């Protein structure tokens, strides 16, 4: 039965990624804090049919990690999610047994679920004239396929839910998983996100929305330019990121390594416009996280911004930060790591939470690269082009905002 009177502390004990900046924590750290771009020309047969030829691809071959029988029944989204779940549990040092499994679950975020499987089905049906589709097409394409595969792999009989709130999906998944632990419903949760939408049809749909960045004529890897006056839009990315969350007491009792503590989570919907963000809505999200944490705004030293590189989002987020933090907005540092790893949509919040966790652990701030021509409307410290080291980074926030208006913010605290 949940204990609603005494809140449990929630800590992060395991991390794993498949990302455009590498598939190990060491590679992610080296590249994200070294200002290395994972954006390049899309490596697919259909690239010449695209107007936008760049993306942030993850170098992930499922055959290196699973048997053909296993990966052939999983969409790329589920393949990456399942792999990161296995690696995150390894990183945490958890031993799964019949005592823990009922007290452990999986919350996963994804925006489009099995995009590859859906497109493959359409190609077979409408282009190739197939009379039948793969028997597992429905099971591979449904949004909860990845979370279900993870629960089956680890025999987790605790809560299993999939969150789909567009770009904030995995941040919501992490925040809601933390709430379960905080109130005593579970001891441990896997939480994160996965997204694989670099298909021909999906990219063409994004082109029609007119939010994708133009290819930089001089350097394709510099095409995403958050907070810069010459920014032209976002760059699509793919990958997965998974965290192991535990109650502090459970983690200490088993001698776990603790990366950081989640002390605040806030979510809000701006109810403004399906694609256009609002200062009020983004501010409400950050204010909710601060209220949940019990911290004064002045305690926050760093924000990993949503920072997509679109004209509207970057200016809106800047003004929302000013609304929430007042004069302190000019004392804290803000950066957009999407300038390096692109926008992983439903998995973005989880990847950025991991990068923020590394920042808190190492007292180092990742840069916003390609920021050579600052926008006067965006006048905060965006950690331009090079990482910054702090004597001590105590509290950091990670922002995720989304089409549809749902925002989520997470606040992390150093534990040592």
Angle at 328 between CA 234 and CA 361, to 5 degrees: 65
Between the CA of residue 51 and those of 84, 122, 136, what are the distances in Å?
A: 32, 22, 32
pLDDT tens digits, one per residue of 159-194: 999 999 999 999 999 999 999 999 999 999 999 999
- Domain limits, the chain: 11-253, 264-413
Q: How far apart are the two ends of the chain, measured CA to CA in Å?
A: 31
pLDDT tens digits, one per residue of 229-268: 999 999 999 999 999 999 999 999 999 999 999 999 999 9
Q: What is the DSSP string of 291-344?
A: HHHT--GGG--EEE----S-HHHHHHHHHHHHHHHGGGGGTSEEE-THHHH-B-
Q: Give me the pLDDT at residue 312, please.
A: 96
If pLDDT is split at 50, 70 and 90, which confidence band does 416 have? Answer: confident
Domains 11-253 and 264-413 share a fold: yes
In the predicted structure, residue 17 carries a pLDDT above the cut 70: yes
pLDDT tens digits, one per residue of 180-233: 999 999 999 999 999 999 999 999 999 999 999 999 999 999 999 999 999 999
User: Which residues, other chains included, contact 330 with Cβ-Cβ below 8 Å and sequence gap of 6+?
Assistant: 380, 381
Residue 299: phi, psi to the nearest 5?
A: -75, -25
pLDDT tens digits, one per residue of 68-97: 999 999 999 999 999 999 999 999 999 999
Of the residues 52, 83, 116, 167, only one is catalytic, namely 167
Q: In the CATH scheme, what is the code of domain 264-413?
A: 3.40.47.10
Beta strand 395-400 pairing with 302-304 = parallel
Which residue is it, tokens 């992060």?
12
Residue 167 annotated among the catalytic residues of the structure: yes
Q: Give me the pLDDT at residue 4, please.
A: 44
pLDDT tens digits, one per residue of 343-383: 999 999 999 999 999 999 999 999 999 999 999 999 999 99
- 265 three-class SS: strand
Of the residues 83, 154, 341, 343, only one is catalytic, namely 343
Residue 224 annotated among the catalytic residues of the structure: no
If pLDDT is split at 50, 70 and 90, which confidence band does 333 have? Answer: very high
**Paired tokens of 313:** 């989002």
Pick 11-253's CATH classification: 3.40.47.10, 3.40.50.300, 3.90.76.10, 3.90.780.10.
3.40.47.10
Of the residues 154, 306, 341, 378, only one is catalytic, namely 306
Tell me 345's DSSP state. G
pLDDT tens digits, one per residue of 123-139: 999 999 999 999 999 99
Full-model pTM: 0.97
Q: Is 367 exposed, middle or buried (0-12, 13-18, 19+ CB in 10 A)?
A: buried
**Paired tokens of 252:** 């200490």
Residue 273 annotated among the catalytic residues of the structure: no
């Amino acid at each position: 039965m949940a204990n609603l009177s005494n809140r449990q502390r929630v800590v992060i004990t395991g991390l794993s990624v498949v990302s455009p900046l590498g598939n190990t924590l060491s590679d992610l750290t080296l590249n994200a804090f070294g200002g290395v771009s994972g954006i390049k020309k899309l490596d697919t047969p259909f690239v010449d049919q695209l107007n936008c030829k760049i993306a942030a691809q993850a170098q992930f071959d499922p055959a290196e990690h699973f048997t053909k029988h296993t990966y052939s029944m999983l969409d790329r989204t589920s393949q990456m999610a399942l792999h990161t779940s296995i690696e995150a549990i390894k990183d945490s040092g958890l031993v799964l047994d019949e005592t823990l499994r009922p007290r452990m679950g999986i919350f996963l975020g994804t925006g489009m679920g099995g995009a590859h499987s859906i497109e493959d089905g359409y190609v077979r049906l409408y282009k190739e004239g197939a009379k039948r589709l793969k028997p597992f097409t429905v099971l591979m394409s449904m949004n909860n396929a990845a979370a279900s595969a993870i629960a089956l792999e680890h025999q987790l009989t605790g809560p299993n839910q999939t969150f789909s709130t567009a770009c904030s999906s995995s941040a919501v998944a992490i925040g809601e998983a933390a709430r379960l632990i905080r109130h005593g419903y579970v001891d441990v949760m896997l939480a994160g996100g996965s997204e694989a939408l670099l298909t021909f049809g999906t990219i063409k749909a994004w082109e029609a929305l007119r939010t994708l960045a133009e290819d930089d004529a001089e350097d394709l890897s510099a095409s995403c330019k958050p907070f810069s006056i010459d920014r032209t839009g976002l760059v699509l990315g793919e990958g997965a990121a998974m965290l192991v969350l535990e109650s502090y007491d459970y983690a200490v009792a088993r001698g776990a390594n603790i990366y950081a503590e989640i002390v605040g989570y806030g979510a809000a919907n701006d109810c403004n416009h399906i694609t256009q963000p609002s200062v009020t809505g983004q501010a409400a999200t950050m204010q909710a996280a601060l209220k949940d944490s019990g911290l004064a705004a002045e305690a926050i030293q760093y924000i990993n911004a949503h920072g997509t590189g679109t004209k509207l989002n970057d200016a809106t987020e800047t003004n929302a930060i000013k609304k929430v933090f007042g004069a302190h907005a000019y004392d804290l540092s803000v950066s957009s790591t999407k300038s390096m790893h692109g926008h992983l949509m439903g998995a973005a919040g989880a990847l950025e939470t991991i990068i923020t966790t590394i920042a808190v652990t190492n007292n180092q701030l990742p840069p916003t690269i390609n920021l050579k021509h600052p926008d006067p409307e965006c006048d905060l410290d965006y950690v331009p082009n090079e990482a910054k080291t702090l004597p001590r980074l105590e509290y950091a926030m990670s922002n995720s905002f989304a089409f549809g208006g749902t925002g989520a913010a997470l606040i992390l605290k150093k534990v040592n």
